[in-house]
């Protein structure tokens, strides 16, 4: 019996895979374009299957051939790419996601954990200053945000109509070594580039509030929900949450560790919500966010260790 991670050699998926392997689980990583760099050190422990979720027969075969009992689905065309190629986004983000739900239904897979996004909430101006819970309304304004909202609806539909265990996690922007894609990749650059003694320019205003989540925390949230007993999970939708900081505040924490860090900011505003409540996830699974300074330090030291630089 194994756990199928769709997007399992990606930035977040590989972290999840490693954590599950460390728990002695059998892991299969299903990817359209596998990235061996992200699973370095675990290559002989993770089975990698090249596949396309827009072809339901490939998903069915991966489940059947590997005795899959649980699925974690991270596959999605990202925000800017979705706007540039909406047809591909519909194929992957809508049809592909539904293929996973339908294949799991056909094959009687025990549990699915699906990655949604805080972009489904829409612009923070729609919500005022309140801290957002899973019950607050959604006002998506992008192709990506609407497709996340649709997939949340379909996850709930399959859960209710077919009695399936499908749990949705709303994720913010994860920072950590190796992230290069997505409209918010700067949340990784702000820590990884100073770790390598390189300057970094962040396009946001330094006063802009943003939600920062370490990739290890995001991966742990998925592991917690994947591994929890059904009786623990009192809900089907969870916010992962994160730490709300301005760019200036993050830069200050980085300079506490790297005093000569060269960090500059631009003048762009973003629409993303930045006050997220994750009490539900914490209460049901024991999930805890790593303190921001510790997460930054861990990120910096991981990058420096890989390059043979002294730790901070």
Mean pLDDT of the 81-107 span: 97
What global pTM score does this model have? 0.96
Do 26 and 157 lie in one domain? The reply is yes
- CATH code, domain carrying 65: 3.40.50.720
Give the pLDDT confidence of 190-225 residue by residue, as tens digits. Answer: 989 999 999 999 999 999 999 999 999 999 999 999
Residue 298 has pLDDT above 70, yes or no: yes
Q: Looking at the structure, do residues 55 and 127 belong to the same domain, yes or no?
A: yes
206 and 298, same structural domain? Answer: yes
Number of folded domains that form the chain: 2
Within-domain flag for 312: no
**Domain range enclosing 255:** 175-212+244-275+284-306
The answer, yes or no, to whether residue 182 has pLDDT greater than 70, is: no
Residues 25 and 116 in one domain: yes
User: Is pLDDT at 162 greater than 90 in this prediction?
Assistant: yes
- Reading the block at residue 239, the tokens are 């916010």
Backbone angles phi, psi at 227, to 5 degrees: -95, -10
Question: What digits encode the pLDDT tens for the residues 10-68?
Answer: 999 999 999 999 999 999 999 999 999 899 899 999 999 999 999 999 999 999 999 99
Residue 288, domain CATH: 3.90.25.10
CB distance 7 to 73 below 8 Å: yes
Q: Which of 144, 238, 151, 240 is nearest to 183 (CA)?
A: 144
Residue 293 placed within a domain? yes
Q: Is the pLDDT of residue 180 over 80?
A: no
Is residue 195 located within the same domain as residue 221? no
Do residues 37 and 62 both lie within one domain?
A: yes
- Give the pLDDT confidence score for residue 181 in this predicted structure: 67
Distances (CA, A) of 52 to 11, 74, 96, 98, 100: 18, 13, 8, 13, 11
Q: Is there a single domain that holds both residue 98 and residue 201?
A: no
Averaged pLDDT for residues 86-99: 97
């Amino acid at each position: 019996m194994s756990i199928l991670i769709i997007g399992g050699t990606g930035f977040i998926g590989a972290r999840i895979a490693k954590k599950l392997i460390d728990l002695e689980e059998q892991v299969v990583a299903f990817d359209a374009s596998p990235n061996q760099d992200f699973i370095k050190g675990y290559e002989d422990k993770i089975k990698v299957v090249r596949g396309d979720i827009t072809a339901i027969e490939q998903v069915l075969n991966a489940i059947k051939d590997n005795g899959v009992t649980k699925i974690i689905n991270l596959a999605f065309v990202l925000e800017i790419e979705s706007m540039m190629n909406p047809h591909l986004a519909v194929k992957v983000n809508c049809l592909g996601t539904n293929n996973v739900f339908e294949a799991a239904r056909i094959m009687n897979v025990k549990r699915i954990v699906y990655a949604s996004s805080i972009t489904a909430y829409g612009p923070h101006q729609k919500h005022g200053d309140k801290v957002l819970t899973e019950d607050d309304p959604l006002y998506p304004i992008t192709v990506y945000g609407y497709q996340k909202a649709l997939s949340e609806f379909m996850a709930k539909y399959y859960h209710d109509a077919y009695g399936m265990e499908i749990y949705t996690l709303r994720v913010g922007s994860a920072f950590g070594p190796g992230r290069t894609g997505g409209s918010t990749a700067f949340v990784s650059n702000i820590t990884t580039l100073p770790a390598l003694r390189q300057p970094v320019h962040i396009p946001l205003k330094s006063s802009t509030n943003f939600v920062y989540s370490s990739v290890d925390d995001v991966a742990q949230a998925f592991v917690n929900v994947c591994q929890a007993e059904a009786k623990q999970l009192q809900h089907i939708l969870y916010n992962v949450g994160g730490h709300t900081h301005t760019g200036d505040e993050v830069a200050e924490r980085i300079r506490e560790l790297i005093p000569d860090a060269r960090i500059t900011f631009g003048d762009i505003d973003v629409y993303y919500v930045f006050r997220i409540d994750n009490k539900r996830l914490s209460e049901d699974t024991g999930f805890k966010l790593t303190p921001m300074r510790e997460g930054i330090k861990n990120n910096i030291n991981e990058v420096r260790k890989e390059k043979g630089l002294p730790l901070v």
